[in-house]
Structure 1
Amino acid sequence: MISRWTVVVDRDDLTKTEVLHDELSPELGDCEVLLKVSHVGLTANNVTYGVIGDLIGYWKFFPVAAEGRGVIPLWGFADVVDSTVDSLPAGTRVYGYLPMSSHLVVRAKLTSSGFVDTADHRAELPAVYNGYLVTSQDAAYDPRQEDIQVLFRPLFMTSFLLADQLADNDFYGARTVVISSASSKTAFGTAQCLRGQGVRLVGLTSPRNVEFTESLGLYDTVLPYDAQVDVEPSVYLDFSGSADVRSTLHDRLGDSLVKDISIGLTQQKPSSDSRSQFFFAPEQLRKRSADWGPEGLAERFGAAWHAFTAQAGGWVGIARHSGPDELAEVWQSVLAGKANPNTADVITF
């Protein structure tokens, strides 16, 4: 038997965590692969998975028997330790969607870049989360940048697709893009993708994060939340979920606010405001996969990713942690909003 630990959270109170221990059978079925999780990143994006877990189905990816509790998904690297798939022998390193757990069994269907988990419980879930990349087949993989990848790559895909949707719609006629939680990783990744596209970028952030956000050099203007933005045709990208910030912008800009798009939830409250449209990255991913084909999409994303990673290492320092207890501690810190924008958390399992 294989000993496994799993960090679970209370689905109704995300501050409550527990480390569960169980045993996995060493016997694998046809097409099954046993993964040992290596290391992962934990950011405010993972908090969003918990906040809207029922809305999108995030709780369903890694089900647990513990009633009322669930497993928060993370992005990171894992290694094959046993397999019934000849093309995925022990030692194969993969990148993808992983649980807060030491081990994961997947049912692998091979693809050109890795495999898809075809487990029954994942069949109806968004396909973008079911794919795993084998590092030896991933053109974007760089072993020297694994920490950057676990922290930024899932966030940057959202940034890339969001910026693409805006450009694809000619920015809805706006000349300015206003971005809240501008110091957050997905927000400044979006700003990086929008640079040079003919729109003015205004970042809104808390007073304590103004200096860091300005240091990124990605925004034309950085303002604290209590400052007034200029009245001109604008798109609002809401990464904070703050009802107060949204209302202030609507009151200030009126009809000049041509689009209000909700992406993140650093305030941990999903927006029910009818004025806001929720951005769901897999929808734009499906559109561009059809428009450009898988190879065209990979090429465009790869170019944007390499441009981003060339700078990202200088923006954020890495804070390293290890094991389930420290993983739970990092979760509590990020959940409470205590994480500093100029550091990021990587956990080794």
Structure 2
Amino acid sequence: MISRWTVVVDRDDLTKTEVLHDELPTDLEDCEILLRVSHVGLTANNVTYGVIGDMIGYWRFFPFAPEGRGVIPVWGFADVVDSTLDAVPAGTRVYGYLPMASHFVVRAKLTSSGFVDTADHRADLPAVYNSYLVTSQDPAYDPALEDLQALYRPLFLTSYLLADQLADNKFYGASTVVISSASSKTAFGTAQCLQGKGVRLVGLTSPRNVEFTTGLGLYDTVLPYDASVDVEPSVYLDFSGSADVRSALHDRLGASLAKDISIGLTQQKASADPRSEFFFAPEQLRKRTADWGSEGLAERFGTAWRSFTAQAGSWVGIAQHSGPEELIEVWQAVLQGKVSPDTADVITF
């Protein structure tokens, strides 16, 4: 038997955590693969998974927590420990959607780039989260950039698809895009994708992050939250989940606010404001897969990803951590908003 540790959180209070230990079976069934998680990135994006876990189904991906608690998904790399598939032998390295746990088992169906997990509990969940890329078959993989990929690739995919949706809809007639929590990684990834698209980019952030956000060179204007934005046709991209910021913008812009879209939630509550619509990246992913085909989408995303990573390494330093206890320490810091925007956290399991 293989011993596994798992970090679980209270689904009603994300600050409450516990490390559980159990045994994994060594006898795999047909098509099963045992993965050992190697290292992952942890950002405010993972908080969103917990905040809207019931709404989207994020708690259902890794259902091995006691009732009332859950396993927060993370993105990163894992290695095959044991496999019933000759095409995915032990030692194979994969990138994908992982639990806050040392090990887990997938029921694999092979694809051209790796495999998907076809376990019953994931059957009706968004396909993008069920796919695992074998690094030797991934054209975007660079072993020297694993930390950047673990941190940024899932965030940047959201950034890319959000920017694409805006452009695809001609920015809903707006000439300005206002972005809250502008120092966050998904937010400034979106700004990077929108550069040169013919819209003015206004970043809103806390006073302590104005200098960092301005230094990115991605926004035309960076303002603290208590400043007033210009009244002009605008789209609001809400990465903060702040009801106060939303209300202030609606009061200020009035009919000039063409669209209000919620993406991330750096605050620990989901918005129920009917003035805002929630952006769900898999929907735009499905649309563009239909429009361009899988290869066409991969080619376009790859070009954008390489442009982003060429700059991202100079914006944010990477802090290394290891083990479940340090994972919990980072989780608590992210929950409390204590992570500096110029630092990103990678945890080795």
State whether TM-score is above 0.5.
yes
Match of 1:313, SS? helix
Tell me which amino acid in the other structure corresponds to 2:291.
D
What is the CA–CA distance in structure 2 between the aligned matches of 1:286 and 1:169, rounded to whole Å?
Answer: 16
Q: Does 1:342 align with 2:342?
A: yes
Give runs of aligned pairs for residues 151-162 of structure 1, distance below 5 A: 151-162=151-162
| Aligned-pair CA distance for 1:241 | 0.5
Tell me which amino acid in the other structure corresponds to 1:237.
L
What is the CA–CA distance in structure 2 between the aligned matches of 1:125 and 1:344, rounded to whole Å?
Answer: 28
| Aligned-pair CA distance for 1:9 | 0.3
Give runs of aligned pairs for residues 129-168 of structure 1, distance below 5 A: 129-168=129-168
What is the CA–CA distance in structure 1 between the aligned matches of 2:29 and 2:83, rounded to whole Å?
Answer: 9
Tell me which amino acid in the other structure corresponds to 1:304.
A
Alignment partner, residue 217 of structure 1: 217
| Aligned-pair CA distance for 1:65 | 4.3
Tell me which amino acid in the other structure corresponds to 2:26.
P
Tell me which amino acid in the other structure corresponds to 1:100.
M
Match of 2:315, SS? coil
Alignment partner, residue 51 of structure 2: 51
Give runs of aligned pairs for residues 199-218 of structure 1, distance below 5 A: 199-218=199-218
What is the CA–CA distance in structure 2 between the aligned matches of 1:261 and 1:124, rounded to whole Å?
Answer: 25
| Aligned-pair CA distance for 1:267 | 1.3
Moved over 3 A (4+): none
Match of 1:294, SS? helix
What is the CA–CA distance in structure 1 between the aligned matches of 2:11 and 2:249, rounded to whole Å?
Answer: 32
Contact 2:9 2:69 (C-alpha < 8 Å) held by counterparts: yes
In the comparison of the two structures, how many residue pairs are matched?
349
Alignment partner, residue 271 of structure 2: 271
What is the CA–CA distance in structure 2 between the aligned matches of 1:344 and 1:16, rounded to whole Å?
Answer: 22
Give runs of aligned pairs for residues 64-143 of structure 1, distance below 5 A: 64-143=64-143
What is the CA–CA distance in structure 2 between the aligned matches of 1:70 and 1:340, rounded to whole Å?
Answer: 27
What is the CA–CA distance in structure 1 between the aligned matches of 2:261 and 2:13, rounded to whole Å?
Answer: 27
Tell me which amino acid in the other structure corresponds to 2:177.
V
What is the CA–CA distance in structure 1 between the aligned matches of 2:22 and 2:68, rounded to whole Å?
Answer: 18
Tell me which amino acid in the other structure corresponds to 1:162.
L
State percent identity of aligned pairs: 85
What is the CA–CA distance in structure 2 between the aligned matches of 1:66 and 1:275, rounded to whole Å?
Answer: 36
What is the CA–CA distance in structure 1 between the aligned matches of 2:64 and 2:84, rounded to whole Å?
Answer: 24
Alignment partner, residue 30 of structure 1: 30
Q: Does 1:238 align with 2:238?
A: yes
| Aligned-pair CA distance for 1:285 | 0.3
What is the CA–CA distance in structure 1 between the aligned matches of 2:37 and 2:253, rounded to whole Å?
Answer: 47
Tell me which amino acid in the other structure corresponds to 1:27.
D
Alignment partner, residue 309 of structure 1: 309
Contact 2:8 2:65 (C-alpha < 8 Å) held by counterparts: no
CA-based RMSD of the aligned residues comes to 0.5
TM-score (norm 1): 1.00
Q: Does 1:41 align with 2:2?
A: no
What is the CA–CA distance in structure 1 between the aligned matches of 2:202 and 2:65, rounded to whole Å?
Answer: 46
What is the CA–CA distance in structure 2 between the aligned matches of 1:80 and 1:175, rounded to whole Å?
Answer: 49
- The runs of 5 or more residues in structure 2 that have no matched partner are none
- The runs of 5 or more residues in structure 1 that have no matched partner are none
What is the CA–CA distance in structure 2 between the aligned matches of 1:200 and 1:64, rounded to whole Å?
Answer: 46
